[in-house]
């Protein structure tokens, strides 16, 4: 039994619902500071919810709009505290963005910016080209991928793409400083932060071929207690892949457009790199997906389908340059069958679709544009429909409760917000907000999936710096993977047998298939939250 709320809060002019597991009755909204009941109501009648595995009822206090700090009480139980205000998400938004600074590799994290979570410069050595060990290349910089210290091109590109898109569509959310060492009051911090990763991504492009190395990692994962600067195994550049090269071209073309007005030289450099990557793709129309060699055990990010990454690259290059060749390539790819509304590390087609829909500078084929737009609206309608029948008001189906389900959650919300952007339909925006409520605590486990934010946040992520440092609190602002019905690690297997999908999560450091953190789970959360910063 619990009363789940968004533990950060509710914007005063949106709907406000608490979701109650296995209980119902008369609920009270209590002002935390005064200890006074300010509002009361009846919960809805309980109904079974199969995703959550409980019976749920709703306490709707939407009509209450007075700013303050509150909690809900029902039959002697209390919810977490939350605020009602015009702007409840400024801090969590900054925290989610600052997490990227805390993910940085290759430089010292200083107390001034990192607080308690400092570390020495790490992974500064040259990397060995796996397929030609006589080659050693500068490999430093960028963000660690996750709870491990690997750096992977495709996932890195997804993370940057989400952040750049957040800035492009919601620039008002990024006026305030984060702050980070580069803060200069001229260029928004989010662009400084993305540049840190982009500078590393340049190093992943093979200067000989223009293709992009799939990843830069050690052969084995270090032990969970190893802090960044103590991980000294050899680093390898693993083979060039078409998926990495496509993502690279896509994100670099995007960066060119966004950095142009701030730093034309850097923007030009991005575009050159993107063009070169595109040429590689053209020279390699038919390549096998990346596989780890036999002696490499770190993340694989295997993906046999590279049409979606090519589609993204072509869409972005066309949006940035207006050149016919990229348009033609995009149109050809658009005719092929692959997911066009996915924003995962494997299926990147959604970014191509978005690039085409947002292309205001150059001519687009109207039939294709309308069909892509109605496809997007259709996705949003489906999410709205599914959310309406879900106890916790989100769109995740049973098959979505997989490794990194919180990314699927935030990707859905991203698509909903894009649908809102194009249609102006308020229900899409409201539905996106319900998804955010789940992330920040309104879920059957009554937990905020963002470390350091909310009354009952994740405390034990599978994250080496958090485990290995001498600090009790985990590194803050990190989004955990979330419930995973596949129970893909031993700890989950042992403790979560037979649980309903949304309960397949445990806040333990050994549970990497549910409680790890990654840059590309943080990034869509930044996108979504930034929409609600006015």
Active site residue 485: no
215 contributes a contact to Zn ion by CB under 5 A = no
Please choose which of Zn ion, ligand G3I, ligand 9MR, none residue 105 contacts, taking the beta carbon within 5 to 8 angstroms, the exact cut-off set by kind: Zn ion
Q: Does 221 bind ligand 9MR (CB under 6 A)?
A: yes
Beta bridge partners of 199: none
Residue in the shown chain whose Cβ atom is closest to ligand 9MR? 148
Catalytically annotated residue among 49, 73, 145, 148? 148
Binding of ligand G3I by 383 (CB under 6 A): no
Q: Which of the choices ligand 9MR, ligand G3I, Zn ion, none does residue 123 contact, using the CB cut-off of 5 to 8 A by kind?
A: Zn ion
Q: Which of 49, 73, 145, 206 is in the footprint of ligand G3I by CB under 6 A?
A: 145
Q: Which stretch binds ligand 9MR (CB under 6 A): 21-29, 145-153, 197-205, 313-321?
A: 145-153
User: Angle at CA 394, nearest 5°, toward 156 and 519?
Assistant: 15
Segment interacting with ligand 9MR, rule: CB under 6 A, options 143-151, 322-330, 364-372, 450-458: 143-151
Q: Cα separation of 441 and 450, whole Å?
A: 9
- Among positions 23, 49, 148, 197, the unique one binding ligand 9MR when judged by CB under 6 A: 148
Pick the catalytic residue from 462, 463, 485, 531. Answer: 462
Is residue 189 part of the annotated active site? The answer reads no
Q: What ranges in 16-82 are assigned the alpha helix state H?
A: none
295 secondary structure, DSSP code: T
Rounded to an integer, what distance in angstroms lies between the CA atom of residue 517 and that of residue 95? Answer: 14
Nearer of residues 105 and 478 to Zn ion, judged by Cβ? 105
CB-wise, 440 or 506, nearer to ligand 9MR?
506
Q: Is 370 helix (H, G, I), strand (E, B) or coil?
A: helix
Strands 212-213 and 151-152: unpaired
460 is annotated as an active-site residue: no
Calculate the alpha carbon distances from 83 to 5, 64, 392, 468 in Å. Answer: 10, 12, 19, 33
DSSP assignment letter at 177 = -
Minimum distance, C-beta of residue 512 to ligand 9MR, in the bound complex (Å): 4
Report how many residues bind Zn ion under the rule CB under 5 A: 4
Smallest separation (angstroms) from ligand 9MR to the CB of 217: 10
Residue 399: name its binding partner from ligand 9MR, ligand G3I, Zn ion, none (Cβ under 5 to 8 Å by kind). Answer: ligand G3I
Give residues 5-34 in contact with ligand G3I (rule: CB under 6 A). Answer: none
Question: Which one, 213 or 403, has the nearer CB to ligand G3I?
Answer: 403
Whole-angstrom distance, CA of residue 25 vs CA of residue 163: 43
Instruction: Pick one of ligand 9MR, Zn ion, ligand G3I, none as the site partner of residue 224 (Cβ within 5 to 8 A by kind).
Output: ligand 9MR
285-304 residues near ligand 9MR, rule: CB under 6 A: 299
Shortest reach from residue 122's CB to Zn ion, in Å: 3
* Phi, psi for residue 320 in degrees, rounded to 5: -85, -40
Please select the residue that binds Zn ion; options are 74, 84, 105, 458, rule is CB under 5 A. 105
DSSP per-residue letters across 445-511: T--BSBTTSSSSB----B-HHHHHSS-SSPPTTPBB----TT--SHHHHHH-TT--GGG-----TT-
CB of 146 to ligand 9MR, least distance (A): 6
Give yes or no: 148 in active site.
Answer: yes
Pairing status of strand 151-152 against strand 54-60 = unpaired
- Tracing tokens 């050149």 back to the chain, one arrives at 323
Q: Which residue is nearest to ligand G3I (CB)?
A: 299
- Please tell me whether residue 123 binds Zn ion under the rule CB under 5 A: yes
The tokens describing 510, both together, are 């050994």
CA gap 15, 10 in Å, rounded: 8
Measuring CA to CA, which residue among 317, 227, 223 is closest to residue 270?
317
Strands 240-241 and 212-213: antiparallel
CB nearer to ligand G3I: give 305 or 368. Answer: 305
Q: Return d(Cα 140, Cα 348) in angstroms, integer.
A: 26
Taken in order 104, 105, 111, 115, the sign of the CA dihedral is: positive
Positions in 296-325 near ligand G3I (CB under 6 A): 299
Q: Concatenate the DSSP letters of all residues of 10-21 into one string.
A: EETTS--EEEEE
Strands 240-241 and 236-237: unpaired
Closer to ligand 9MR by Cβ: residue 231 or 429: 231
DSSP summary character for residue 176: S
Is residue 148 within the footprint of ligand G3I (CB under 6 A)?
Answer: yes
Catalytic residue among 435, 463, 516, 531: 516
Residues that bind ligand 9MR (CB under 6 A): 146-148, 221, 224, 299, 512, 516
| Catalytically active residues, by annotation | 148, 462, 507, 516
Residues that bind Zn ion (CB under 5 A): 105, 122-123, 228
Residues that bind ligand G3I (CB under 6 A): 145-146, 148, 150, 299, 344, 346, 399, 402-404, 486, 488, 512, 516, 518
């Amino acid at each position: 039994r619990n009363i789940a709320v968004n533990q950060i809060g509710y914007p005063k002019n949106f709907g406000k619902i608490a979701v109650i597991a296995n209980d119902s009755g008369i609920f009270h909204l209590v002002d935390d500071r005064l200890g006074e009941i300010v509002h009361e109501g009846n919960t809805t009648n309980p109904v079974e919810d199969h995703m959550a595995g409980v019976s749920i009822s709703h306490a709707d206090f939407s009509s209450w709009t007075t700013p303050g700090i509150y909690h809900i009480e029902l039959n002697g139980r209390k919810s977490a505290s939350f605020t009602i205000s015009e702007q409840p998400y400024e801090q969590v938004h900054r925290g989610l963005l600052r997490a990227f600074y805390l993910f940085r590799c290759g430089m010292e994290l200083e107390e001034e910016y990192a607080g308690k979570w400092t570390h020495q410069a790490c992974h500064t050595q040259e990397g060995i080209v796996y397929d030609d060990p006589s080659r050693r290349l500068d490999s430093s910089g960028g963000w660690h991928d996750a709870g491990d210290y690997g750096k992977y091109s495709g996932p890195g590109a997804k993370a940057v793409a989400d952040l750049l898109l957040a800035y492009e569509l919601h620039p008002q959310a990024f006026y305030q400083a984060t702050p980070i060492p580069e803060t200069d009051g001229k260029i928004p911090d989010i662009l400084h932060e993305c540049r840190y990763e982009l500078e590393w991504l340049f190093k992943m492009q093979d200067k000989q071929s223009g293709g992009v190395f799939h990843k830069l990692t050690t052969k084995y994962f270090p032990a969970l207690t190893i802090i960044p600067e103590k991980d000294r195994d050899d680093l390898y550049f693993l083979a060039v892949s078409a998926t990495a090269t496509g993502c690279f071209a896509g994100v670099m073309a995007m960066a060119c457009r966004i950095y142009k007005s701030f730093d034309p030289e850097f923007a030009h450099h991005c575009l050159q790199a993107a063009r070169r990557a595109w040429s590689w793709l053209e020279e390699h129309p038919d390549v096998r997906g990346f596989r780890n060699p036999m002696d490499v055990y770190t993340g694989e990010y295997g993906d046999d389908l590279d049409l979606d990454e090519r589609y993204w690259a072509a869409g972005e290059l066309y949006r940035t340059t207006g050149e016919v060749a990229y348009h033609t390539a995009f149109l050809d790819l658009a005719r092929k069958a692959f997911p066009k509304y996915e924003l995962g590390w494997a299926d990147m087609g959604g970014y191509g679709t978005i690039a085409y829909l947002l292309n205001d500078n150059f001519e687009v084929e109207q039939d294709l544009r309308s069909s892509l737009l109605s496809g997007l609206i259709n996705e949003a309608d489906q999410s709205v429909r599914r959310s309406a029948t879900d106890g916790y008001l989100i769109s995740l189906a049973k098959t979505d409760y997989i490794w990194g389900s919180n990314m699927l959650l935030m990707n859905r919300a991203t698509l909903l917000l894009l649908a809102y952007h194009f249609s102006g339909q308020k229900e899409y925006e409201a539905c996106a907000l319900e998804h955010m409520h789940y992330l920040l605590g309104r879920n059957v486990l009554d937990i905020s999936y963002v470390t350091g934010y909310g009354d009952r946040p994740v405390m034990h992520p599978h994250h080496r710096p958090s485990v290995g440092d001498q600090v009790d609190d985990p590194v803050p602002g990190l989004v955990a993977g979330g419930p995973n019905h596949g129970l893909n690690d031993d700890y989950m297997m042992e403790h979560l047998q037979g649980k309903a999908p949304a309960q397949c999560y445990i806040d333990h450091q050994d549970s990497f298939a549910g409680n790890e953190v990654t840059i590309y789970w943080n990034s869509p959360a930044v996108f979504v939250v930034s929409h609600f910063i006015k």
